[in-house]
Structure formats: C-alpha cells, structure tokens
Amino acid sequence: MSEEVQDVNDADFESQVLKSDVPVLVDMWAPWCGPCRMVSPVIKEIARDNAGRIKAFKMNVDNNAETAAKFGISAIPTVLVFKGGREVQGLRMVGAQPRGVYQRAVEDALSG
C-alpha cells in the first residue's frame, strides 16, 4: 500500500473516515476484481495530487462486510466520498471511471 492511499477496515472506519477533518475518498474493492485493479492507480494519483486537502483509503469488501453492508455496496469498485462524517450524496461512483470523474468529485467535496 502506498503512503497516499491507506487501508481501512471495519474497526477503524469511524476514526479514520468519519472523524476526518478533510474530505475522504474510500475505494471499496476486492483483490479478485479486475476493474478494481484498474481504479487503484487512479485513486493513488488523485490522492497524491490532492495531498493535504483530502485523505484516501481502500477497503477490501471481502474482509470488511460490516461497513460494506452499512453503505449498501452491491458492486465493486465503488468509490465513496465522505465529508463531515457523512457520505456526500451524489458523489458515489460505481464501476471504473475516468480520472476526471474522481477529480471532479474531490473538487465538489472540497467546495461544498
């Protein structure tokens, strides 16, 4: 795992994501998911390019079913955006997306 994108799990999701003082991207993924492997380097770039403005985490849904179920994750990859302890409505991205879609979500979270 890179310094830009850290792992998060059911046990530390609240402290790492919901209590963050900056917007957070959470990449819901699984190791067997091909599109997830395509999204991973893009999320890493977004995190690096927005360092200090956002945090980025990856959550393996196979190992963290409680959080995945809580947020209704039914397809992966799914990238969620959190701000102020809540998921930002309208910014959930399901399936592999172009880099610009993730960057726009970050900008929306930072400006909103």
Q: Is 103 a catalytic residue?
A: no
Q: Which of 17, 26, 36, 39 is catalytic?
A: 36
Q: Per-residue b/e over 15-47, b at no fewer than 16 CB within 10 Å?
A: ebbeebeebbbbbbbeeebeebeebbebbbebb
State the pTM of this model.
0.94
User: If we measure between CA atoms, which residue out of 26, 97, 16, 15 comes closest to residue 57?
Assistant: 26
- 38 catalytic? Reply is no
Residue 8 token pair: 């998060």
The domains of the chain, with CATH numbers, are 5-111 (3.40.30.10)
pLDDT in tens, the chain (112 residues): 456 899 999 999 999 999 999 999 999 999 999 999 999 999 999 999 999 999 999 999 999 999 999 999 999 999 999 999 999 999 999 999 999 999 999 999 999 7
Catalytic residue among 8, 24, 28, 33: 33
